[in-house]
């Protein structure tokens, strides 16, 4: 799995001093205000470390939607595909 390929040293979160972070936030805000187009790239680690559930994890939105879809499809079939083959 993807998780088993992650180096623990690379996933350590670093918290900055408030004063340093505030200066960086102000700089970023100025860049965004002055830009014509702004694009932010984020990844799975950004949301999950902030407490936002992931999309494809065991309880993620996609996973739960897919489970419901498969349950609906299974409920429609009175005879399982295995039984039909015989």
Q: What is the pLDDT of residues 11-33, one digit of tens each?
A: 666 777 888 888 999 999 999 99
- Average pLDDT score, the chain: 76
Percent of the chain residues past pLDDT 90, beyond the cut: 19
Work out the pLDDT band at 2, boundaries 50, 70, 90: very low
Does residue 74 carry a pLDDT above 90? Answer: no
- Residue in this structure with the two tokens 């790239």, named with its chain if needed: 41
DSSP string for residues in the chain: --GGG--GGGS------HHHHHHHHHHHHHHHHH-SS------HHHHHHTTPPPSSSTTSHHHHHHHHHHHHHHHH-SS-HHHHH-
Dihedral sign for Cα atoms in the order 21, 24, 30, 33: negative
Does residue 5 carry a pLDDT above 70? Answer: no
Q: What is the pLDDT of residue 7?
A: 61
More confident residue, 55 or 84: 55
Dihedral sign for Cα atoms in the order 62, 63, 68, 74: positive
pTM of the model: 0.39
């Amino acid at each position: 799995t993807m998780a088993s390929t992650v180096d623990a040293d690379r996933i350590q979160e670093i918290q900055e001093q408030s004063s340093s972070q505030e200066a960086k936030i102000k700089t970023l805000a100025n860049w965004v205000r002055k830009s014509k187009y702004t694009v932010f790239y984020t990844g799975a680690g950004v949301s999950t470390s902030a407490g936002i559930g992931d999309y494809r994890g065991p309880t993620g939105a996609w996973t739960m939607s897919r489970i419901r879809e498969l349950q609906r499809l299974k409920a429609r079939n009175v005879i399982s595909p295995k039984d039909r083959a015989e």
